[in-house]
Structure 1
Amino acid sequence: MLQHRTIYVFPSKQGAAFLVLILLIWILGTNYQNNLILGLSFFLTSVMLVSVIHAFKNLLGLIFIPDAIQHAAVGDVASFDIEISSSYLNDHHGLLLRVNADFDPIRADVIAGKVTQVRLNLPARHRGWLKLPRIVLKSYFPFGLIRAWAYIDLHHRALIFPKPIACDQPPLGPGQGDEGIYVSMQRGDEFQGFQNYQPGSPLSQIAWKQYARGAGLHLKDYRALQSEHYWLDWQALNTHDTELALSNLTYWVNYFADSNIEFGLRLPNQTIERGTGDVHRLNALTALALFGWVQED
């Protein structure tokens, strides 16, 4: 939460020009001993002072919470989602958030009692964990005369996958099921037997006949049959370029996952067992992204 000691205020360019105008008006009123002109200078001075107070309060009490971790590939844009709320019962207007000079600042308004979500973007230049750098928060509310700003450090990061690069053939290692059929790990229509009941399982999977015979609660296990499966193997790659090898494997991981083909991944010192689905894809891509990763956040 932003507190008094972390918020800074200073006149903006318009505010500096406004102060010069006040000084000129005051000198003019003093020389001509005109109370009306002097009153105008005092009024404008009070406007400047009120602007300082409101600019400060516009940042005071803001709370920043990192949202879920996002993913991107090298060469793409990594996104960081942040939730902003207020600890006080007042609105915050015209907030500008920026982390990189290559991107325009993000504007946000925070309504009291509600959560505002913003997304900050950074270029993904390297695989692995990308930490969100210090955020510069600015505001020129209410009249643009005062610039209030603060620095925000969040423990937020994004996971960057290698850039997918196609190669002629998938780097397949030993263990392919090229002949016959085998039982897939994904659910299908082929009955394979019974499993112990797990709380929360669908009622349609319960073996009611077994339960009626007094055998207890069991689940019917159905699996799909698949003619072949694949193992993507680091040792099958014909390159000594580590980053290129990871990019080739990333391409085939996405290809098999998009085609709903079961596959496994063998890396030096790590093996991802065969499977399908988005969770399996994420596990494989995470292993590729963090291969040899030693940098500490």
Structure 2
Amino acid sequence: MRPDSVTQPGPSRRRSARLRDDAIRWITRRHAHDGEQAHLGRDRIYILPTRAGYTLLGIILVMLLGSINYANNMAFLLTFLLVGIGHNAMWYTHRNLLGLQISTLPVPPVFAGQPITLPLRLTETAGRAREALVLCIGSHATAPFPVPARGTHSARLDLPGLARGIYRLPRQRLDTRYPLGILEAWSWLTLNPEIVVYPTPIDPGAATGGTGEDDPHTRDRREGEAPDQIRPYRPGDPPGRIVWKAFARSGKLHVREAAGGQGDRLWLEWDAMPATDTETRLSMLCHQVLAAHSEARAFGLRLPDQTLDPAQGATHRDRCLQALARFRTDGVELDPGPAT
């Protein structure tokens, strides 16, 4: 979705959001940055009544006034019974978060526009099960989930797709209304997993109306060089180089290799992309990286500020995609939308 297609909040709502953020920063100023793991102690848990809790509190006050006015012992008994239930609910709600450990898990990289899944691991060490926990980032929240006694649970929060780049996670919130829903306890987290968003792959041939075949500027072998050689198959040779026609004739596996044993190497070059804007060039290079890897070809990547030597394998592919995602960009904080 384009940023200019999103309805922007009004000035009053923006001011309210800024005041709320300033208040949260002031309240949590004594908390150290969590990094990769957070432990919820008593000084990090906040608790307030919910709307239902305030309603119950009002009813209790009316019942107390009525009991005093009519000097009714049974009414006093019922009023103090409700007060006791509310007091115990406060203790249980606060205890449902106390002592939890929350740690980050690697966030799988995605391509631009694809939804992001944020995994966090919650660990229970006090020997009591935790119920109805909710993880929130802005307006996005998980469904309520439990954590077993002395066990772990991996919570997964789905976030909308983003543009290419490197993102930092904003402030997170873990809350619960267990057991009665009349009180809400929560804690603010500042875990910092890195979110990597690759460019959207665009076929250079399809974008320019061509065939999509290798551009002569990207090939390592030039005209006038020796043609490919055919040699017997060796264990570990990529399937993409097998000469299937030779196998059909002789029943033996052979592979194609460039003269000198260099293999079918490619150079994927920034200047060779048929585009002028940065994002389109990165998207075209992303497509070529994926295509070269799927064909098990050795390839290198040349960017204006970085060169990756030819290699093969998933590790090299990921290095190239990481270089494209990080090209001329610094990590920015993800905008999850207004908090609920």
Report the TM-score when normalising by structure 1: 0.81
* Separation in 2, partners of 1:21, 1:79: 43
In structure 2, which of residues 62, 66, 80 is the aligned counterpart of residue 42 of structure 1? 80
Is the contact made by 1:188 and 1:225 (CA closer than 8 Å) also made in structure 2? no
Q: Which deviations, in whole Å up to 9, do the C-alpha atoms of 1:200-236 show, x marking residues without a partner?
A: xxxxxxxxxxxxxxxxxxxxxxx96435332211111
Match of 1:207 in 2: none
In structure 2, which of residues 285, 294, 304 is the aligned counterpart of residue 258 of structure 1? 294
Q: Which deviations, in whole Å up to 9, do the C-alpha atoms of 1:226-276 show, x marking residues without a partner?
A: 353322111111322011100111112112222333322221232222233
* Separation in 2, partners of 1:278, 1:225: 21
Is the contact made by 1:3 and 1:60 (CA closer than 8 Å) also made in structure 2? yes
Mark the CA change 1:244 to 1:6 in structure 2 (over 3 Å): closer, same or farther. Answer: same
Match of 1:31 in 2: 69
Match of 2:180 in 1: 143
Q: State whether structure 2 residue 285 is matched by structure 1 residue 249.
A: yes
Give the Å deviation of 1:41.
0.1
Report runs of 4+ in structure 1 exceeding 4 Å deviation: 182-186
Percent of aligned pairs with the same amino acid: 27
Mark the CA change 1:153 to 1:106 in structure 2 (over 3 Å): closer, same or farther. Answer: farther
Match of 2:155 in 1: 118
* Separation in 2, partners of 1:49, 1:86: 24
In structure 2, which of residues 206, 214, 229 is the aligned counterpart of residue 181 of structure 1? 229
Aligned residues: 263
**What is the root-mean-square deviation in Å for CA atoms of aligned residues?**
2.5
* Separation in 1, partners of 2:155, 2:228: 52
* Separation in 2, partners of 1:118, 1:147: 19
Give the Å deviation of 1:106.
3.6
In structure 2, which of residues 293, 304, 307 is the aligned counterpart of residue 271 of structure 1? 307
> What letter matches 1:55 in structure 2?
T
The runs of 5 or more residues in structure 2 that have no matched partner are 1-38, 206-211, 239-253, 259-263, 334-340
Q: Which deviations, in whole Å up to 9, do the C-alpha atoms of 1:113-139 show, x marking residues without a partner?
A: 111111123234232222121111111
> What letter matches 1:66 in structure 2?
T
Is the contact made by 2:228 and 2:256 (CA closer than 8 Å) also made in structure 1? no
Structure 2 SS opposite 1:59 = coil
Give the Å deviation of 1:182.
8.7
Match of 1:283 in 2: 319
Match of 1:13 in 2: 51
Give the Å deviation of 1:141.
0.7
Structure 1 SS opposite 2:197 = strand
How is 1:20-169 mapped onto 2 (pairs within 5 angstroms)?
A: 20-101=58-139, 103-168=140-205, 169=212
Structure 2 SS opposite 1:154 = coil
* Separation in 1, partners of 2:96, 2:230: 64
Q: State whether structure 2 residue 276 is matched by structure 1 residue 240.
A: yes
* Separation in 1, partners of 2:79, 2:235: 78
The runs of 5 or more residues in structure 1 that have no matched partner are 190-222
Report the TM-score when normalising by structure 2: 0.71
Bigger fraction of residues in strand? 1
Mark the CA change 1:125 to 1:296 in structure 2 (over 3 Å): closer, same or farther. Answer: closer
Mark the CA change 1:151 to 1:239 in structure 2 (over 3 Å): closer, same or farther. Answer: same
Bigger drift between 41-50 and 154-163 goes to 154-163
Q: Which deviations, in whole Å up to 9, do the C-alpha atoms of 1:10-69 show, x marking residues without a partner?
A: 111111111111112222222221101110000000111111111111111110111123
* Separation in 2, partners of 1:174, 1:229: 7
Give the Å deviation of 1:173.
2.3
Bigger fraction of residues in helix? 2
> What letter matches 2:192 in structure 1?
H
Match of 2:329 in 1: 293
Q: State whether structure 2 residue 247 is matched by structure 1 residue 226.
A: no
Is the contact made by 1:63 and 1:85 (CA closer than 8 Å) also made in structure 2? yes
